Amino acid sequence: MINKKPTFIDLFSGAGGLTEGFLNAGFKCLACFENWEPAILTHNHNYPNIKLITKDIRKLNKKDLISNKIKKVDVIIGGPPCQGFSTIGKRKNNDFRNSLIYEFARIVNLLKPKIFLMENVRGLMSPKMNNIRSNFIKKLNNFGYTNIISSTLCAADYGVPQLRYRVFFLGTKMKKEIAFPAKTHSEENYEKIENFIRDLEKDTKKLSNHIPMKHNEIVKKRISFIPEGSGITKKIPKKYLKGSRSDFQNNSIKNFSHIYKRLHYKKPSTTMVPGHNAFPLHPKLDRSLTVREAARIQSIPDKIKFFGTRQDQCILVGNAVPVLMAKKIALNIKKQL
């Protein structure tokens, strides 16, 4: 008897971090759901054989799913847009994107999978988000998913060279105990980014999305004063701490900006968060990371190509669930199925 692959759909699939992880764990993808143009282009190039449904999820109904031959699925996964919950900037209770986690719950109710997995920023666990979080769980409880666990997981604990913390919700109607995978790494043996990106120092042509930013001379000089593993320091001459653009010349460069944090080869990176078209600084070179280097730190394989403007590509990579982490969660879900 041949065992069939367990099936899944990926809501808000973005660059496909969760999708790739589940595929690598031996799942079959019935469809992905995404309506942001750069993500659509990225999906169609990288996963031409996986159906992509681009309809606004708020308008998606049972008839749409049936017409796309999605009647039954083992697992529903997804990471709804999280800007309303983010710890960067102000959290807004009235941000319409906050309601998209309820849409996730609604699709779970329409298809009634055996297990669901939802990923989001840890800001969702803040006291300000208590009502949104409890209403989300309450909806799922009413749909019969009374066995739900949640946890804030660090990607570095699963072999990803990045101190990235995200909250995951795992739920099922099954009565048996469910769990997240055991950690495979700890602070003593976290992966170093050196093992993931050092070979890219000299290779700027062969790989897609590996185009260094063209920083102006003031910015390059400013970066040159920042030591490996450090940020803006008092050693930088004041003339290099003013904005280099004509509309920004009277503004001082602030040390809190991750853009001026230089990574350390012998350590995991900070969270890959794109800002102003740029990721954190390269450990050795006087520039920010390329999109490809950031993707490597996200454990996204080189075969995956990203589309859109540079900012779009940065957002696609920065929002993705690290593939290696996704795979380990998927393997654990596979056992529980």
- Catalytic residue (choose from 29, 32, 82, 154): 82
> Does residue 326 form part of some domain?
yes
Strands 28-33 and 7-11: parallel
Residue in 181, 167, 155 with CA at minimum distance from that of residue 269: 155
Q: How far apart are CA 229 and CA 214, in angstroms?
A: 22
**CA torsion through residues 99, 105, 109, 113, sign:** positive
E strand or H helix at 19: helix 17-24
Contact 9, 76 (CB under 8 A): yes
Residue in 135, 128, 136, 117 with CA at minimum distance from that of residue 87: 128
pLDDT at 232: 85
Question: Residue 57: which domain range?
Answer: 7-184+322-336
> Does residue 128 form part of some domain?
yes
> Does residue 94 form part of some domain?
yes
Burial 306-328 (b: 16+ CB within 10 A, else e): bbbebebbbbbbbbbbbbbbbbb
Contacts with 13 (C-beta within 8 Å, 6 or more apart), sequence order = 19, 32, 33, 34, 39, 43, 52, 78
Q: Which tokens sit at 78?
A: 């997804």
Contact 317, 297 (CB under 8 A): no
> Does residue 107 form part of some domain?
yes
Q: Which tokens sit at 150?
A: 């949640």
> Does residue 163 form part of some domain?
yes
> Does residue 62 form part of some domain?
yes
pLDDT at 48: 98
pLDDT at 247: 44
Contact 305, 47 (CB under 8 A): no
82 catalytic? Reply is yes
pLDDT at 1: 47
> Does residue 120 form part of some domain?
yes
Residue in 306, 269, 304, 301 with CA at minimum distance from that of residue 288: 269
pTM comes to 0.92
Q: What percent helix, strand, coil does the chain show, rounded to 5? A: 35, 15, 50
pLDDT at 234: 79
C-alpha atoms less than 13 angstroms from C-alpha of 215 in its C-beta half-sphere: 23
* Residues of the chain scoring pLDDT < 50: 1, 87-89, 91, 246-247, 256
Taking CA 72 as the corner, what is the angle to CA 69 and CA 78, rounded to the nearest 5 degrees? 95
> Does residue 206 form part of some domain?
no
Can you give the CATH number for the domain in which 151 is found? 3.40.50.150
Q: How many CB atoms lie within 10 A of CB 201?
A: 12
pLDDT at 244: 59
Looking at the structure of the chain, the number of domains it has is 1
**CA torsion through residues 229, 235, 237, 243, sign:** positive
